[in-house]
Chains A and B, each alone.
Chain A
């Protein structure tokens, strides 16, 4: 082999490698992905999804993997008008194929079946007033919507940013993949990061809006809910809400289906699969394919920064909405409701309920608010799904 040929081979190898095509923005994205991996692994910030999202982000931003031939994910297939699924299947990369589950809404809905199978609506059925707290804690969604519109976002993007305030990852992904798919990476990262930060975000707001006396309120023990109530509930909720807001059917229908599997007592195997194996498999695909949408050209923008800020604002207002409604109910019931449980109305289950419980225990060590807070917490899941249905119906 001649020396000239070796030089040519090496040159071709260099030209074909990603190192020759590296761009500073890709380096930034790799650093962002590394930071998210650190937060997920070392700090345990929603690791089940954040690790997948960060790794998807890493894969999609590696130099050399963004060429037509080598790309694992082609943003041009998804974000430029109509989607040609034939082209995706014939020429798409691995993450394109996995992303079909996000784009068609299959993954968030399957996750909702699992969430339903893991959720006990008993505390909410025992204290139906907690539904009002769950509704009030959606305030952040609408405050963020107004702010996003004020900042000049289109209605679709504003709605997708606003839904972060619902503190519900699958719902945020479901709305964004329909209304603003190009922002999916930023919105999913913001939603899951803030959900992980709930123990830091909520307590100062809870303390700011309540008095010491209110925080110390002990609540009466909840009644026992019969099996019949638990079985009938998901069936009737599906009928009432899906007929009123058909766009909410995929999310709420799946949530209630999962819950029925759990409560009916004759489908234990299905319930077990929905809340463990199936949910884990889908979480894996969802994380990595959502992360793949965060490509440097669409992610490193001022919009992403605004989305992160507005997401935080949405979370704060949702917490405040729940606590303020809790205060109102405390006043109406003459001190029978501890306003702290209102903060659990943001639907991050069960973390928000745990935060309310721990905060109550700090001020009154005999206080046991967990089951009382679970009511607004699961009501928040329904509330954010209804809010998502409304936004999808409008845009």
Chain B
């Protein structure tokens, strides 16, 4: 490669060269940093828009109607979920009624002291 400038340098020339070189590296990498910020901003906003559109297009037209009696909450008082589920299943069986047609308000453990 042909040399653009004299190959022998004085120390001040070397200092200037080093300064220019360091500033150039810093400049190029700062430009790249700015580009990366811009790129990630654009891609993330495009992805957000895309996701929103996807969610809307995938949304079902109508929510299916709930079976009567299957909505609402049940209060469990000193009873774990497994026991409550077993009690509800036994009650439904005893009444000969499907479970989703019954409404349970609460299940409470009754103790001797509580009588």
Instruction: Provide the bound-state CA to CA distance between A203 and B5, in Å.
Output: 39
By CB atoms of chain A within 10 A, which of B5, B21, B39, B44 has the most? B21
Task: Indicate which residue in B1, B25, B26, B43 contacts A392 across the interface (CB closer than 8 Å).
Answer: B1
CB closest residue in chain B, given A144: B18
**B-contacting residues, A178-235, CB 8 Å:** 178-179, 225-226, 228-229, 232-233
| A132–B29 touching, CB < 8 Å | yes
Q: Mark B17-47, 1 if CB is under 8 A from A, else 0.
A: 1110110111011111101110110011001
Min Cβ gap B30→A in Å is 7
* Contact of B7 with A by CB under 8 A: yes
A154 within 8 A of B: yes
Interface string of A128-166 (1 = CB under 8 A from B): 110110111011011101100110001110100000000
Count residues of B near A (Cβ-Cβ below 8 Å). 35
Q: Say yes or no: is B96 at the interface (Cβ < 8 Å to chain A).
A: no
Choice from A150, A382, A392 contacting B29 with Cβ under 8 Å: A382
Q: Is B69 an interface residue (CB 8 A)?
A: no
Residue ID in chain A nearest B32 by CB atoms: A131
Could you tell me if A158 and B1 are in contact, using CB atoms closer than 8 angstroms? no
Tell me the complex Cα distance, A224–B18, Å.
Answer: 37
B11 at the interface (CB under 8 A from A): yes
Q: How far is the CA of A141 from the CA of B11 in the complex (A)?
A: 15
Check A386–B28 contact: CB distance below 8 A: yes
**Quick check: A233 and B3 within 8 Å, CB to CB?**
no
Cα distance A195–B29 in the bound complex, in angstroms: 23
Instruction: Output the least CB separation between A367 and chain B (Å).
Output: 25
Q: How far apart are A320's CB and chain B's nearest CB, in angstroms?
A: 14
The proximity string for B residues 44-72 relative to A, scoring 1 for CB distances below 8 Å and 0 otherwise, is 10010000000000000000000000000
Interface of B is mostly: helix
Known: A229-B39, A229-B40. A155 touches B30 (CB 8 A): no
Interface 9-residue window, one of A31-39, A48-56, A237-245:
A237-245
> Could you say which residues of chain B place their CB within 8 Å of the CB of A109?
none
Inter-subunit contact B5/A135 (CB<8 Å): no
- Confirm or deny: B4 has a beta carbon within 8 angstroms of a beta carbon on chain A: yes
Question: Are B28 and A241 within 8 A (Cβ)?
Answer: yes
- With the chains together, A15 CA to B13 CA distance in Å? 53
Assess whether A116 is interfacial by the CB under 8 Å rule.
no
Known: A139-B22, A158-B9, A395-B7. Contact between A125 and B36, CB under 8 A? yes
Smallest CB separation, A237 vs chain B (Å): 6
- Interfacial chain B residues near A392, Cβ < 8 Å: 1
Given contacts A135-B25, A379-B29, is CB(A149)–CB(B39) below 8 Å? Answer: no
A128 touches B9 (CB 8 A): no
The yes or no answer to A383 lying at the interface (CB within 8 A) is yes
CA distance A92 to B12 in the complex (A): 43
Query: How far in angstroms is the closest Cβ of chain B from A260?
Result: 15
**Contact, CB under 8 Å: A233 / B36:** yes
Chain B hits for A136, CB < 8 A = 26
Contact check, A145 vs B21: say whether CB atoms are below 8 A apart.
Answer: yes
Of B3, B11, B22, the residue contacting A142 (CB under 8 A) is: B22
A178 cross-chain contacts in B, Cβ below 8 A:
1
Known A131-B29, A132-B29, A228-B43; judge A390-B3 contact (CB<8 A): no
Contact residues of A between 30 and 69, Cβ < 8 Å to B: none
Find residues 67-123 in chain A having any chain B CB closer than 8 Å to their own CB. Answer: none
User: Which residue from chain B places its CB closest to the CB of A157 in the assembled complex?
Assistant: B7
CB of A167 within 8 A of chain B? no
**B9 CB contacts on chain A under 8 angstroms:** 149, 155, 158
- Chain B residues contacting A237 (CB-CB under 8 Å) are 32, 35
Query: Is A135 a contact partner of B18 (Cβ separation < 8 A)?
Result: no
Task: Answer whether residue B115 sits at the interface, using C-beta atoms and an 8 A cutoff.
Answer: no
Given contacts A128-B33, A387-B25, 12 further A-B contacts (CB under 8 A): A128-B36, A129-B33, A145-B14, A145-B17, A146-B15, A149-B14, A229-B43, A241-B28, A245-B24, A382-B29, A387-B21, A390-B25
Q: Can you name 15 A-B residue pairings with CB atoms under 8 Å? A: A124-B36, A125-B40, A131-B29, A132-B30, A134-B29, A149-B14, A226-B43, A226-B44, A226-B47, A228-B47, A229-B36, A232-B39, A383-B25, A391-B21, A392-B1
B interface residues, Cβ below 8 angstroms from A: 1, 3-11, 13-15, 17-19, 21-22, 24-26, 28-33, 35-37, 39-40, 43-44, 47
